[in-house]
Amino acid sequence: MLNKDRAWIEVNLDNLEHNINEIKKVMQAGSEIMAVVKANAYGHGSVIIAKKLNEMGIYNFAVATLSEGIELRENNIKGDILILGYTNFENIEYVAKYNLIQTIVDYKYASRINTMGHKIRVHIAINTGMNRIGEDFSNIDKIIEMYKMKNLYVEGIFTHLSVADSNLDDDILFTKGQIQKFYYVINQIEEVGIDAGKKHIQSSYGLLNYPEIKCDYVRTGIIMYGVYSSKKDYIKTKLDLKPVLSLKVRITTIREIKEGASISYGRTFRSNSKMKIASVSIGYADGYPRNLSNKNAEVFVNGQKARIIGRICMDQLIIDISNVEKVEIGDIVELIGEEEEISAENVAEKSETITNELLSRLGARIKRC
Ligand SMILES: *Cc1c(COP(=O)(O)O)cnc(C)c1O
């Protein structure tokens, strides 16, 4: 229903499959993909993406929140689903009810969950330098104690690298230190005869820049969707990635304006001559960044280039179609896609952010198909 109405995302599942195969080429034998489908699969639609991955034989997923995990289960996604973020105590029972796996954010959190009477599957996060979540790597006694808590099934342990996307000597040293600290923890656990469970360290850039790490899982997010976080990143192992997402909307009105006319809020754009302009059915409430106002952001109309002019509104924006031929109300405008000018990397750069943010903020009003 209401397909391709005012704004929609076309998801290219063949490209997703292609990217997965590219990623597998650089993974160590024995490593498996843990597909990161948090934030609605970085805006792509988590159920669409996870269904396709299930069909491809991928049965390990990561989400950020309990409700994201429940959504996958309610749509019959099979396999293990790890919640990478925090779940509050009052909702812990749902982790068990939906057969999800909770990240243990530290020892205190584990201790309290252990007293709640639900048997919970968990992976323990270890802080090796990110200083976000995770029990500190040096607290070996506490980490070992968590493995012995009777209501926790500790099935895995992981850490997260904070500068895997940099090739500065200092950053490489720091990353190697993080990896070393993680393996120190693993060794200490195994030394007392405990099975540490599934181990994982790398996300996308961890894989691209430290492919030699041999772990049970690689937590692939952004590169699975066929784009890099930013064009400026250091990438040792370049893959042949193909973008999975394209963002399309409609031309809603077409008008001619005179020289000196102003466009949109604040009258920030004034025409230097007669122009042909069109309003378009997307705005910042859909996640198209407002800071692309008056930045010459490009779009494609019927395969021809046009640019955004004036301030981007909440639900609409305006483009210059003076040089676009044969354009009608209802025609399709593409704002993010495979063309270089509208690649997620280029749009994100112009908007002073990374593709992860640009894509994950594409909103609920946009249908995925
Ligand atoms: C989001 C996230 C990932 C995925 O990161 P990408 O850079 O998109 O691959 C992996 N691990 C953790 C802990 C995350 O929070």
| Statement: residue 15 has pLDDT above 80 | yes
All residues at 6 or more sequence positions from 297 whose CB lies less than 8 Å from its CB, including other chains: 307, 308, 347, 350
Burial of 234 (0-12, 13-18, 19+ CB in 10 A): middle
The confidence band for 85, taking pLDDT boundaries of 50, 70 and 90, is very high
Catalytic residue among 24, 176, 232, 265: 265
Q: Which fold has domain 13-225?
A: TIM Barrel (3.20.20)
Count the neighbouring beta carbons within 10 Å of the beta carbon of residue 235: 16
| Statement: residue 135 has pLDDT above 90 | yes
Please write the tens of the pLDDT for every residue from 277-326.
999 999 999 999 999 999 999 999 999 999 999 999 999 999 999 999 99
pLDDT for residue 265: 98
Average pLDDT (57-69) is 98
350 CA from centroid of ligand 1 (Å): 23
| Statement: residue 2 has pLDDT above 90 | no
The single residue listed with the structure tokens 């692309």 is 292
Mutation choice for ligand 1 from 82, 103, 219, CB with most ligand atoms inside 8 A: 219
pLDDT for residue 183: 98
pLDDT for residue 107: 98
Please write the tens of the pLDDT for every residue from 250-270.
999 999 999 999 999 999 999
The confidence band for 102, taking pLDDT boundaries of 50, 70 and 90, is very high
The single residue listed with the structure tokens 């996300």 is 203
Is residue 324 within 8 Å of residue 306, measured between CB atoms? Answer: yes
Beta bridge partners of 199: 157
What distance in Å separates the CA atoms of residue 114 and residue 111, rounded to the nearest whole number? 5
For the domain 245-368, what is the CATH superfamily, name and number?
Answer: Lyase, Ornithine Decarboxylase; Chain A, domain 1 (2.40.37.10)
Beta bridge partners of 245: 11
Is residue 43 within 8 Å of residue 8, measured between CB atoms? Answer: no
Please write the tens of the pLDDT for every residue from 199-220.
999 999 999 999 999 999 999 9
What distance in Å separates the CA atoms of residue 58 and residue 292, rounded to the nearest whole number? 37
Name the closest-CA residue to atom 7, ligand 1: 204
Average pLDDT (117-138) is 98
- Identify the weakest region by mean pLDDT among 1-5, 32-36, 38-42, 74-78: 1-5
Classify 120 in phi/psi space as left (phi over 0), alpha (psi -120 to 50) or beta. Answer: beta
| Statement: residue 132 has pLDDT above 90 | yes
Where b means 16+ CB within 10 Å and e means fewer, 10-32 reads: ebbbebbbbbbebbeebbeeebb
Average pLDDT (227-233) is 94
| Residue intervals in the chain for CATH 2.40.37.10 | 245-368
Residue 59: both structure tokens together: 């049965």
CB within 6 Å of ligand 1 — which residues? Answer: 36, 38, 84, 160, 203-205, 219-222, 356
The single residue listed with the structure tokens 């005869």 is 193
| Whole-number percent of the chain with pLDDT over 70 | 100
Residue 248: both structure tokens together: 């399309």
6 CA from centroid of ligand 1 (Å): 31
| Statement: residue 131 has pLDDT above 90 | yes
204 CA from centroid of ligand 1 (Å): 7
Average pLDDT, rounded, for the chain = 97
Average pLDDT (100-106) is 98
At position 216, the amino acid (one-letter code) is D
Name the closest-CA residue to atom 8, ligand 1: 221
The single residue listed with the structure tokens 């109300």 is 329
Is residue 207 within 8 Å of residue 226, measured between CB atoms? Answer: no
| Whole-number percent of the chain with pLDDT over 90 | 98
pLDDT for residue 3: 84
162 CA from centroid of ligand 1 (Å): 10
| Statement: residue 20 has pLDDT above 90 | yes
Please write the tens of the pLDDT for every residue from 156-196.
999 999 999 999 999 999 999 999 999 999 999 999 999 99
Record the pTM.
Answer: 0.97
Beta bridge partners of 219: 34
Active site residue 265: yes
Catalytic residue among 38, 198, 199, 248: 38
Q: Which long-range contacts (CB under 8 A, 24 or more apart) does 118-122 make?
A: 118/92, 118/93, 118/151, 119/151, 119/153, 120/92, 120/95, 120/96, 120/151, 120/152, 120/153, 121/95, 121/96, 121/153, 121/155, 122/152, 122/153, 122/154, 122/155, 122/156
Is residue 270 within 8 Å of residue 260, measured between CB atoms? Answer: yes
